[in-house]
Structure 1
């Protein structure tokens, strides 16, 4: 045995055994970590229902919502109403004046039913719309009145959308719908929602 090999043998043997045990532990730990993002994660994100975007102006947000309602059942039934629900700026745990009177709109099904009510259904699959007026009431508040011609004969209604731009929180800078009001008192007779 040479002098050089006798000096290197004990430390070298220690490092060799340490590196083998460490490597096997890291391999075992790496194999136990699940992959939370599937291979098609990015593609699945593209298929999500359309909703608010940070780069939308108030006018864009109104336009995209009304377009979604115009083609409500494409690509699936009530997709346009889903888009409206994503833009809705109310707290789902509190009653909201989104449609005028205080309603509990926390569940999507309640929100959807109101759109199928006689005065709001004109929005679903409408044939034509014209902006009657638009106004920035405040720096972060925008209102637009829209005339809608529905798909049924002689079906015309006027709606007012009020958009607010959030300041602070996770929705900072996004334009969300504060209310969608019909010109008439649409719920005078009541609504079973």
Structure 2
């Protein structure tokens, strides 16, 4: 319809424009050309293609928050949800599970962190993501099975858990240690965040065993005292 209207468009006479000069006023007619008429017709047709309504679930999607720490999560639940996200790492998009891990991470992005056992600058998500694709941590991505080996309450707001993980690749398995800390004060008051995630058997972060030993000695000292 738009093309036929454009084809039959004729010059449209507008009120003549006022021209001043020589102490008098006179009017001259300015016709609208067929090209201008075509532009007006096409603009009208384009505007009719834009929907004037929102989708039925628009409000629901706006309210939906990215998955991350929740005030009602226990330390064990926080670990479980993170591992489950890594198991389905690429759902609903690639490396979404690592994004969840980054939201749970309790380090300061402006300082070097020992999240992976050694000091790394993890302020940028891309650096954090690449370390999960390192051979020491990639077993977590899309893993098949896992089993809790031990859990330890170091303090009231500090929790450790060692987990055996079987990866998706043949004969791929590792043991990891989560250290969860419950924040006190500030905007994250009461939330369980991940202080560190360490591969026990890799030289890249093999100091995890010594951290566990140190915590066991500390707990034993408190019990004796």
Query: Which interval holds the TM-score relative to the shorter structure?
Result: 0.7 to 0.9
Superposition TM-score, scaled by structure 2 size: 0.64
Out of 192, 209, 213, the residue aligned to residue 175 of structure 1 is 192
8 Å contact from structure 1 (residues 137, 143) kept in 2: yes
- The runs of 4+ residues in structure 1 deviating greater than 4 Å are none
CA deviation after TM superposition for structure 1 residue 119, in Å:
1.3
Find 1:187's aligned residue among 200, 204, 208: 204
Match of 2:62 in 1: 44
State the Cα distance separating 1:95 from its structure 2 match.
Answer: 0.3
Find the aligned partners of 1:95 and 1:169 in 2 and give their Cα distance. Answer: 21
RMSD, aligned CA: 1.4
Name 1:92's counterpart in structure 2. 109
Q: Distance in 1 between matches of 2:189 and 2:203?
A: 32
CA contact (8 A) 1:166 1:174 kept: yes
The structure with the larger Rg is 2
Alignment partner for residue 162 of structure 2, among 145, 150, 159? 145
Contact kept in structure 1, 2:136 and 2:202, CA below 8 Å: no
Residues paired across the two proteins, number: 149
| Equivalent residues of 2:165, 2:174 under 8 A apart | yes
Name the residue aligned to 1:112.
129
Does structure 1 retain, via aligned residues, the 8 Å contact 2:164–2:175? yes
Structure 1: any 5+ residue segments left out of the alignment?
Answer: 1-38, 189-193
2:174 and 2:201 in contact (8 A); partners too: no
Partner of 2:138 in structure 1? Answer: 121
Secondary structure of 2:92's partner? coil
Q: 1:185 to 1:153 in 2, by over 3 A?
A: closer
Unpaired runs of 5+ residues, structure 2, are 1-56, 206-225
Q: Is the 8 A contact 2:105 2:194 kept in 1?
A: yes
- Structure number with greater CO (CA < 8 Å, separation at least 6) is 1
For 1:117, what is the secondary structure of its paired residue?
Answer: coil
Question: Does 2:193 match 1:164?
Answer: no
Question: Offset at 1:87?
Answer: 0.1
